[in-house]
Amino acid sequence: MSHLRPELRQRAEETVALYPQRRSAMLPLLHLVQEQDGYLSAEGMDEVAELTGTTPAEVRGTASFYDMFHLEPVGTYVVGVCTNIACLLAGGQELLQHASERLGCAVGSTSPDGLFTLEETECLADCNIAPCVQVNHRFVRTTTPDSFDALVSDLREGRRGDEVPPHGTLNRVRRVGGLRVSRTQIASERSTALAARDARTTAEPK
Amino acid sequence: MAVLNAPRIVSSRSEFADSFTLSRYLATGGYQGLKKALGMHPEAVGAEVDAASLLGRGGAGFPAGRKWSMLRRAPVSYLVINGDESEPATFKDHFLVERDPHQLIEGVTIAAYALQVTQAFIFLRGEFALGLERVQQALNESYEHGALGANIFNSGFSLDIVVHPGAGAYICGEETALIEALEGKRGFPRIKPPFFPAAIGLYGAPTVVNNVETMANLPWIIENGGAAFAALGAGRSTGTRLFALSGRVKNPAMFELEMVKNSFRDLIFDPDLGNGIIDDRAIKAFIPGGVSAPWFGPEHLDLALGQDEVAEKASMLGSGSVVVFDETTCAVRAAWRITKFFSRESCGQCTPCREGSGWLERIMFRLEHGGGRREDLDLLLDLCDNIAPGLSWPPQQTTICVLGSSIPSSIHSAITMFKDEFLAHVVNDGCTHG
Amino acid sequence: MAENTPSNTTVSVTIDGRVMSAERGELLIETAERAGTYVPRFCYHPRMAPVGMCRMCLVEVDGPRGATLQPACYISVSDGMIISTDSEKVKKAQDGVLEFLLANHPLDCPVCDKGGECPLQDQTLTHGSGETRFIEEKRHFAKPISIGELVLLDRERCIQCARCTRFAAEVAGDAAIDFAGRGDKIEVAPFPTEPFDSVFSGNTVQICPVGALTAKPYRFTARPWDLEQVESTCTTCSVGCRIAVQSSANRLTRVLGIDSDPVNHGWLCDKGRFVIDAVDGEQSSFDVLDPSTRLTEPMVRRNGELVAVGWGEALAVTAQILRDATANGADGVGAIGGAALTNEGAFAWQRLLRDVLGTDNIDAQYGDGLDGALVASLPRATIDEMAAACTVVLLSGDLREELPVLFLRLRESVVKAQTNIVELATGSNSLRSLARVSLPTRPGEAHLVARALSVKDNSYATLSTHPNGAGFSEADLNEARRLIGDTGEGVVFVVGRPNGAESASIVEYAIRTFAVSFPKAKFVTALRRSNVFGALDMGLAPGLLPGRSSVASQARVNEREVPTSGRGTISQLRALANQHQSAVILLGGLLRGNVADRALSERALSRSHVIAVTGHGGADLAYAEVILPATVNHERSGTVTNLEGRVSAVIAKVVAPGSAWNDVAIASELAETLGQSLGLDSIEATSLAIESTTSYPAASVLRGDFNDGVVVGRVANNSVQRPLDPMANPGIRSVDMVGLAPRAGSLAQSELTPPRSVATIEVADVLAPSISSIALADAYSLRVVATRRLYDRGAGVSATSALSALSALTTVEANPYDLDRLGVTTGDVVRVVTARGNFELAVTANSGVTRGTAEIFLNTLSNDGVDVAGGMIFNADDVVSEIRLESR
Ligand SMILES: Cc1cc2nc3c(=O)[nH]c(=O)nc-3n(C[C@H](O)[C@H](O)[C@H](O)COP(=O)(O)O)c2cc1C
Ligand code: SF4
Ligand code: FES
């Protein structure tokens, strides 16, 4: 019995097929588990182990290396405020402090209503709009306490649905096309491509 | 006076709201470089890039053409694009993947053709959710358009590109850690030797790793010729480059500037660029190329924005990001925050990096928040010396990768340049800045 | 004009001013060590790929850009390299790394198991500044947490060298632990719901360079400076791993693996490492039926009760039983067992049985082994030869369960892509995922598959008449044929008894077919019981004499009267049951758990005079008339022979409890009591007798000249004392040279013959077994595959509390396809119908089990503690066993 919903399970299997080795699909698959469960459930990690040919200990060990993966449930909205150097110089530390008070939870924890998890992040690569804030890994371009408050009300009232999908949803665009379809097709396409390459590279450049 | 007449090579579409779509891309000359490349011999494509002297834009600044040509003997198996962009204050690749994904894809395809690989991976930082969607969308369009996939533009050349999401770890920008992450593992940099990507890379096969911005330059180079690119800039620093300006300036933003022709002063103060310091205060210092780089004081403002020019003064242009400190900036606090970053992002393999970064961070925290001691300054410098012996630039290494040896930069710079400020922190038992 | 041109394979380097030559590609750390310079290190382990993580091994290497610090553990030497290991810069860097390591390290050396043998502590004492500059709060974790049944983890002490995690993934191939977290939050972790219960977990404790991983059984039992140690051989299975045995105050405290290049590479399985509990045993317990009871006094049965007596009386009673039993002919007695004896013990008992009692009813195996003459006739491969083979053909049980370190060696060579595995797949097999070809082989089919592979006739066509068809395709068969080739050159067959519920004749036929068809192939015989190969070589099998010669051939040469048609174990049990034989001597092992047909052995014991020679209690002793207490391993010296035919020494480390005697003494004194002398006055004298009569290198090995033993029939390297890398084996103090400790008593000064080849039996001379016809499989029954688990209900595990918790539980494992037909799945309880009755058991779906078969673990209990399998399923008369499953 698959823990992933059929539609996600299918995406997972397609993802595995994209890579020459199964284990490569580890990070994308963990994102899928998070898309379904909001965090990395034990059942989800077990399934990733099966799909990638690894042990559950390796899956959990790998996942825990990466900040975006949550081994415990988190709030509906994971709010990240950057305090790294450019944001620090623009008041990131203060904005984080404000967020903590406003959301009613300490940095690294979840608000009592379960709606928000607040994180202090490292640089998010949007330093010209500092301090930088992400919600569920979407840049919300909110740099002042006031605009932060507005953001929180919007989220509470579900006004940013399009912009901010549920936590864990990373890439809403499905892959269409590409070389990789079935294993055998990949192999044959690759060998024709390699033969063609040999033909080209042995010819002298003009 | 700033020199702003160079062509916009990688940021030309940024005015268009739909710059990321195939239709806009085609309407603005997209995929012409690729078409041209496919009509050339692969080695001739490589030769153009060599002639362009395109320095890698990921930080180390190694010429892309040289990297490729070194691999002529060992057929390359994989091309991997580094879009992990996590170096603090760097935001150029973020811009490129969100605003012009087709340009990236075209560049990747050109590189793949030159290298004759049929499989490429674009590793994108997981936090770029929109970027991931835009790149995937562009890939779909590109397959549909015949610019990617089997038999590209009927040339007989085939390429598959997979976009691979990261999951939040700065170290995955280091190319061998990136390969590990791409293999589904913890992002532990590999030991070199033997794991030079060119020899033993992805799945143990020869692999080329290049930065997103490096790729984005290729369509222009092929269309206009390597010589045209090399005609811009000076010395080894050719073409244009994206400079990410942030910190205490009035206009923090990204600018595409011709290499070497402008100085840091131009970048920070020119009204068309940084437009000076907030509230017209005095500049205190600036970081010339990402937080791994040693800091510069105002005396270096007239240094040209060129790779060798900055290296000569014992720092680096690195990822092209410039952070400006003004007189309100506390040097101890800035260095503490940077150290905290390294401590959080150390992968944890090497003892000096894992333990050293945490120890340094805790000392810096005490200095900034109270509890600092006079002897902490010597201790800091000695610990730094144990991580990067000699405290020179480029640093000597006791670690696997250069994240470790970059840790001392900020502390060493801050203590050398602002020792009095440290002593004041000791005397006042913490920071007295606003 | 290169004056000093390096050859292709050697280069010349300068280390601290001294020029020396090295193999091209050798790691600097190894070259330096050969030069006598010990470069400090923590993460480097010579049996695993370098990772360069701890950074302790930094040295200065002169290169084109001046001298730079480089890690010695992964830089290879190149010609002209100039290395400094003691410059100021090196010292500062190394001191710096050490200081960083200690920054967060807790100050609990006084209560740490590793204290006194800790490389980190050693380094600190020799190099550390003695004063800490670290005034911050240390990193805190909850103190030791249990990560498995046998292993505790103290995360504060961990120095993140990744030795344990690398061992699990790289060597054991089962990453049940991995690093979790990043940076200074890295910790070793199993998956929360899956504890670290690998059968190799103890190795991680041994290679942990600090006290982060500790073994629950050893915790707080001793301090290293109180320990004494000898080098010996593990006799838990027939791989014969080299071990250091440590004791304190006459109690065994710990066993560590020694890095023996030809054998175990430093590794041990957890059973071998931890069964020492069983040796110490419960000396105060008087329950002779309990396997954890150590027998200390001879006992005889009076009025139905066993009572302790002196040796004189016990021997007298024994002699009388034997005299009575042989009154009508020597056939009235026999002996079963002996695989746990040393070669010397086995030799002495063999002399007593053949020369004094005149019987050939001798069998060291329990009907679950292979014909001794066949074993003796096979051209043997060493473990190294197996690891270097291009193809290894498996026809054996799961090596990880039966011969764990052999599994590690084979796995390593497969992973390094040196070896292809072709598997005749019977039961579950841990190597299956690495096999190039698996040929599913149901009970009663191995001989046909063997013919298909070798003589390539068509008899395997009958396989497809099975209701499920042939288990494999023609293409698989051809691929296997290709990998084996025509002559078997470079091929090693690993052959054993993959199925305890199938007549030996099936695999014996297959093995003989392989041996005859592939004259250049070699064999590893995968019989698992400790010294079974020594016992066979010493003649503990019907028709076999010491030195791998047969009774028949000796009789021809010597014109001597010897019985030639002795009974094996199963025949003896039958003879005892129908009273054609009246007495049996059980040698160092009991029937329960060893003989699959339990009903038969109970009938036999209940009808005969039973003399038990054993160190431990056990259920069979309910039938014993006399118990003669014997010393067990680590209490006796001697030699043993592993599956390669490697003779190595076992050394007494502790004194046996009470008045237990060694087997040579028991056999000799019993012979005296029977009025004859064996002339075997001591263990040494026995080893000399073995060597002088058969050229078997027992005395040479026991004298201590050969650390890694001597493979019978091969030229021995006279190995020197073995300097142990303290980091390869942290736990053995760094200054120690572990070799055979000098032993009391000296050997007779006679010239020892250098080992030369022993007698051999030709495979062609071994009678081809005849195979009784097998009834056609019907579509409703499943053929039983009975396999061995490492942690079964055997005496060693049962007597070791740390291991008994890990004992495997029996369920019926079957292919999901077969279970689906029944409408049951994992966890459901079914009714198992056998020829002898029926009982209930849970099922487990396992796609690794071939369709039409059912796997059951021998000598294990079901969930409810019922020992169903052995009692109900196996009948020694049947070629194969069948069961039917019915859903309730
Ligand atoms: C700690 C560390 C972080 C790095 N991060 C990045 C990064 O985010 N993006 C990038 O392109 N290169 C990064 N690099 C550099 C890469 O290792 C590599 O040199 C680069 O991707 C090569 O591409 P280029 O030659 O096109 O510049 C980093 C290196 C180190 C040591
Ligand atoms: S230097 Fe730091 S980040 Fe780089 S490999 Fe070592 S521990 Fe990891
Ligand atoms: S880095 Fe060389 S031994 Fe650890």
- Predicted pLDDT of residue C731: 36
Distances (CA, A) of A71 to A140, A192, C512: 25, 44, 56
Query: Are A96 and A136 contained in the same domain?
Result: yes
**Over the stretch B250-280, which tens digit does the pLDDT of each residue have?**
999 999 999 999 999 999 999 999 999 999 9
CA nearest neighbour of B218 among B49, B39, B95: B49
Same domain flag for B318 and B352: no
Q: Measured between CA atoms, how close is C479 to chain B, in angstroms?
A: 26
Does residue B185 belong to the interface with chain C, where contact is any CB pair within 8 Å? no
Over residues C336-346, the mean pLDDT reads 97
Residue C736 has pLDDT above 50, yes or no: no
Question: What secondary structure letter does DSSP report for B159?
Answer: B
B317: Cβ below 6 Å to ligand 2?
Answer: no
Question: What would the mean pLDDT of C457-482 be, rounded to a whole number?
Answer: 84
Instruction: Evaluate whether B320 touches B150 at the Cβ level (below 8 Å).
Output: no
Burial class (CB in 10 A: 0-12, 13-18, 19+), C79: middle
Q: Is the pLDDT of residue A203 over 90?
A: no
Residue A58: phi, psi to the nearest 5?
-70, -40
Tell me the residues of chain B between 84 and 113 that have a Cβ less than 8 Å away from chain A: 85-91, 93-94
Predicted confidence (pLDDT) per residue in C471-483, tens digit: 889 999 999 999 9
- Per the CB < 8 A criterion, the answer to whether B386 and B357 are in contact is no
Mean model confidence pLDDT for chain B: 96
User: For residues C763 and C515, is the Cβ–Cβ distance under 8 A?
Assistant: yes
Query: What pLDDT, in 10s, does the model give residues B164-181?
Result: 999 999 999 999 999 999
Residue C9 pLDDT? 87
Question: How is residue C375 written in tokens?
Answer: 């074993």
C184–B352: do the CB atoms touch at under 8 Å? no
CA distance B332 to B339: 10
| Nearest-by-Cβ selection for A58 from C175, C181, C182 | C175
pLDDT digits (tens, 9 = 90+) for B345-384: 999 999 999 999 999 999 999 999 999 999 999 999 999 9
Q: Is the pLDDT of residue C752 over 70?
A: no
Residue B17 within any structural domain of the chain: no
Rounded to whole angstroms, the Cα distance separating C504 from C38 reads 53
Q: Ligand 2 pocket check: which of B171, B188, B341 to mutate, most ligand atoms within 8 Å of Cβ?
A: B171
Residue B16 CB-density burial (10 A; 0-12 exposed, 13-18 middle, 19+ buried):
middle
Average pLDDT value for residue range C344-365: 96
Residue C592 binned pLDDT confidence (cut-offs 50, 70, 90): confident
- What residues line ligand 1, using a CB cutoff of 6 Å? B 56-60, 62, 64, 82, 84-87, 171, 173-175, 209-211, 214, 401-403
Is residue B62 in a domain?
yes
State the residue for tokens 């904005």: A95
Rounded CA separation B144/B152 (Å): 11
In a domain, A200, yes or no: no
pLDDT at C871 over 70: no
The answer as to whether B9 is a domain residue is: no
| Domain final residue pick, B301, B326, B351 | B326
Q: ipTM score of the complex?
A: 0.95
What domain range is B366 assigned to? 331-427
Note whether A65 and A88 are same-domain residues: no
In a domain, B293, yes or no: yes
> Number of residue pairs across B and C with CB atoms under 8 Å?
105
Structure-block tokens of residue C762:
């030709």
- pLDDT at res. C733: 35
Q: Which of A127-131, C64-68, C749-753 holds the top average pLDDT?
A: A127-131
Domain limits for position A51: 7-71
pLDDT band with cut points at 50, 70 and 90 for residue C116: confident
Neighbours of chain C (3+ CB pairs under 8 A): A, B
Q: What is the 3-state secondary structure (H, E, C) of C521-578?
A: CEEEEECCCCCHHHHHHCCCCCCEECCCEEHHHHHHHHCCCCCCCCCCHHHHHHHHHC
Helix %, strand %, coil % of chain B (to 5) = 45, 15, 40
Asked whether residue A57 falls in the same domain as residue A99, the answer is no
Cα angle at C335 between C334 and C338, to 5 degrees? 165
Please check whether residue A75 is in contact with residue A35, taking contact to mean a CB–CB distance below 8 angstroms. Answer: no
CA distance A41 to A64: 13
pLDDT, average across residues C694-698: 91
Instruction: Tell whether ligand 3 has an atom less than 6 A from the beta carbon of residue C728.
Output: no
Average per-residue pLDDT in chain C? 88
Provide the whole-model pTM: 0.94
> Looking at the structure, do residues B163 and B50 belong to the same domain, yes or no?
yes
Closest residue, chain A, to B347 (C-alpha): A65
Domain CATH number, residue B420 = 1.20.1440.230
- Considering the domain architecture, whether residues B95 and B168 belong to the same structural domain is answered as yes
Mark whether A139 and A82 lie in a shared domain: yes
Of the three residues B214, B230, B246, the one that is the final residue of a domain is B230
Question: Does residue B38 lie within any of the structural domains?
Answer: yes
The mean per-residue pLDDT over the stretch C302-331 comes to 96
Q: Is the peptide bond before B193 cis (omega within 30 degrees of 0)?
A: yes
Q: How confident is the model at residue C732 (pLDDT cuts 50, 70, 90)?
A: very low
A163 half-sphere exposure, CB direction, 13 A CA radius: 12
Look at residue A205 and tell me if it is in a domain.
no
* B335 in the same domain as B319: no
Strands C583-587 and C609-614: parallel
Final residue of a domain: which of A56, A71, A86? A71
How confident is residue C556, by pLDDT bands cut at 50, 70 and 90? low
pLDDT given at position C724: 45
Is residue B41 located within the same domain as residue B129?
yes
Lowest mean pLDDT among A180-189, C301-310, C387-396: A180-189
Q: Give the Cα-Cα-Cα angle A67, A73, A77 (nearest 5 degrees).
A: 75
Q: Are residues B171 and B91 in the same domain?
A: yes
Q: Indicate if the pLDDT at residue C784 is higher than 60.
A: yes
Q: Which of A173-182, B397-406, C148-157, C629-638 has the lowest mean pLDDT?
A: A173-182
* pLDDT, position B100: 98
Residues C619-648 pLDDT 10s: 999 999 999 999 999 999 999 999 999 999
Domain count, chain A: 2
Instruction: Assess whether pLDDT exceeds 70 at residue C562.
Output: no
Give residue A197's pLDDT: 63
Q: What are B166's two structure tokens?
A: 């990261």
Which of A160-164, B140-144, B315-319 comes out lowest in average pLDDT?
A160-164
Overall number of domains in chain B? 3
**Token pair listed for C387:** 């690891």
Tell me what the mean pLDDT of segment C788-808 comes to: 88
Residue C589, pLDDT score: 76
The residue out of A52, A71, A90 marking a domain boundary is A71
User: Same domain, yes or no, for B272 and B335?
Assistant: no
* pLDDT computed for residue C738 by the predictor: 36
Q: Which pLDDT value is given to residue C113?
A: 86
Q: Is A162 a member of any domain?
A: no
> Please, is C809 exposed, middle or buried when counting C-beta atoms within 10 Å of its C-beta (0-12, 13-18, 19+)?
middle
Query: Among A45, A59, A65, whose Cβ lies nearest the Cβ of C182?
Result: A65
Closest partner residue to B143 among A20, A86, A178, by Cβ? Answer: A178
For residue C172, pLDDT beyond 50 = yes
Sheet holding C638-641, edge to edge: C638-641, C646-650, C710-711
Residue C487 CA to ligand 2 centre (angstroms): 52
Residue B70 has pLDDT above 90, yes or no: no
Among all ligands shown, which has an atom nearest to the Cα of C55?
3
* Residue A125 belongs to a domain: yes
Same domain, yes or no: B136 and B55: yes
Q: Is B186 within 8 Å of A192 when comparing Cβ atoms?
A: no
pLDDT of residue A201: 60
Q: Tell which A residues from 15 to 34 touch C, by Cβ distance under 8 Å.
A: none
Q: Of the ranges B134-143, B144-153, B406-415, C713-722, which one carries the lowest mean pLDDT score?
A: C713-722
pLDDT of residue A198: 66
Do B261 and B288 belong together in one domain? yes
A161 occurs within a structural domain: no
Q: Give the A:C interface size as CB pairs under 8 Å.
A: 45
| Cβ(C273) – ligand 3 distance below 6 Å | no
Do residues B289 and B316 make contact, with C-beta atoms less than 8 angstroms apart?
yes
- Determine, yes or no, domain membership for B210: yes
Same domain, B338 and B321: no
Q: Which atom belonging to ligand 2 lies closest to the Cα atom of B348? A: 7
B396 and B356 belong to one structural domain: yes
Contacts of residue C577, defined as CB under 8 A and 6 or more positions apart, other chains included, come to C600, C603, C604, C607
Partner-chain contact A201 B143, CB within 8 Å: no
Q: How far is CA C837 from CA C834, C856, C873, in A?
A: 5, 17, 9
CA distance B371 to chain C (A): 11
Nearest chain A CA: its distance from B312 CA (Å): 25
H or E element, residue C423: strand C420-425
Residue B69 in domain: yes
Confirm whether B16 is domain-assigned. Answer: no
CB contact under 8 A, C99 and B343: no
Looking at residue C448, its pLDDT comes to: 93
Is A127 a member of any domain? yes
Q: Is there a single domain that holds both residue B83 and residue B36?
A: yes
Instruction: Please name which of C150, C185, C139 lies closest in space to residue C268, comparing C-alpha atoms.
Output: C150
